[in-house]
Amino acid sequence: MYGVVHFTTGSLNMPIDKSDPNPNQSKASKFRWGELEEDDNLDFLLPPKEVIGPDENGIKKVIEYKFNDEGNKVKITTTTRVRKLAKARLNKRAVERRNWEKFGDAVHEDVGSRLTMVSTEEIILERPRAPELLLTGMKAEEIKVPGDSLAQLSKGGAVLMVCRTCGKKGDHWTSKCPYKDLAAPVETFVDKPVASEASVAASGSGKGAYVPPSMRAGAERTAGSDMRRRNDENSVRVTNLSEDTREPDLLELFRPFGAVTRVYVAMDQKTGTSRGFGFVNFVNREDAQRAINKLNGYGYDNLILRVEWATPRAN
Partner 1 sequence: MRPILMKGHERPLTFLKYNRDGDLLFSCAKDHTPTVWFADNGERLGTYRGHNGAVWSCDVSRDSMRLITGSADQTVKLWNVQTGAQLYTFNFGSPARSVDFSVGDKLAVITTDPFMELTSAIHVKRIARDPTEQTEESELVIKGPQGRINRAVWGPLNRTIVSAGEDAVIRIWDSETGKLLREADKESGHKKTITSLTKSADGSHFLTGSLDKSAKLWDTRTLTLIKTYVTERPVNAVAMSPLLDHVVLGGGQDASAVTTTDHRAGKFEAKFFDKILQEEIGGVKGHFGPINALAFNPDGKSFSSGGEDGYVRLHHFDPDYFNIKI
- What is the side-by-side order of every strand in the sheet holding 50-52? 2-15, 73-87, 59-67, 50-52
Q: Which of 36, 45, 52, 85 touches partner 1 (CB under 8 A)? A: 85
CB of 90 to partner 1, least distance (A): 6
Q: Which window, 106-114, 169-177, 245-253, 255-263, contacts partner 1 (CB under 8 A)?
A: 106-114
Torsion of CA 28, 32, 38, 39, to 10 degrees: -10
Contact (Cβ atoms closer than 8 angstroms) between residue 12 and residue 76: yes
Q: Which window, 83-91, 170-178, 244-252, 301-309, contacts partner 1 (CB under 8 A)?
A: 83-91
**Residue 128 or 299 with smaller CB distance to partner 1:** 128
Number of residues that bind partner 1 (CB under 8 A): 42
Q: Which of 210, 225, 299, 315 touches partner 1 (CB under 8 A)? A: 210
**Residue 99 or 302 with smaller CB distance to partner 1:** 99
Q: Is 112 in the site for partner 1 (CB under 8 A)?
A: no
Q: Is 149 in the site for partner 1 (CB under 8 A)?
A: yes
Q: Is 98 in the site for partner 1 (CB under 8 A)?
A: yes
CA-CA distance, 219 to 214, in Å (whole number)? 6
Q: Is 121 in the site for partner 1 (CB under 8 A)?
A: yes
Contact (Cβ atoms closer than 8 angstroms) between residue 124 and residue 198: no
DSSP for 14-56?
A: EEPPTTS--HHHHHHTGGGGGGTT-HHHHHT--PPPEEE---T
**Residue 3 or 167 with smaller CB distance to partner 1:** 3
Residues counted in the chain: 315
CA-CA distance, 81 to 172, in Å (whole number)? 31
State the first-to-last Cα distance of the chain, in angstroms, to the nearest integer. Answer: 74
**Residue 124 or 159 with smaller CB distance to partner 1:** 124
Q: Is 102 in the site for partner 1 (CB under 8 A)?
A: yes
**Residue 131 or 299 with smaller CB distance to partner 1:** 131
Nearest alpha-carbon partner for 183 in 133, 231, 253: 133
Contact (Cβ atoms closer than 8 angstroms) between residue 150 and residue 171: yes
Q: Is 118 in the site for partner 1 (CB under 8 A)?
A: yes
For 6, the 3-state DSSP assignment is strand
**Residue 117 or 158 with smaller CB distance to partner 1:** 117
Q: Which of 211, 251, 283, 303 touches partner 1 (CB under 8 A)? A: 211
Q: Is 160 in the site for partner 1 (CB under 8 A)?
A: no
Q: Which of 30, 93, 108, 169 touches partner 1 (CB under 8 A)? A: 93
CA-CA distance, 153 to 270, in Å (whole number)? 10
**Residue 81 or 306 with smaller CB distance to partner 1:** 81
CA-CA distance, 280 to 236, in Å (whole number)? 5
Q: Is 108 in the site for partner 1 (CB under 8 A)?
A: no
How many beta carbons lie within 10 A of that of residue 199, not counting itself?
20
Q: Which of 10, 34, 213, 312 touches partner 1 (CB under 8 A)? A: 213
Rg over CA atoms, the chain: 31
CB of 167 to partner 1, least distance (A): 21
CB of 98 to partner 1, least distance (A): 7
Q: Which residues bind partner 1 (CB under 8 A)?
A: 3-5, 85-86, 88, 90-91, 93-94, 97-98, 100, 102-107, 109, 114-119, 121-128, 141, 145, 148-149, 210-213
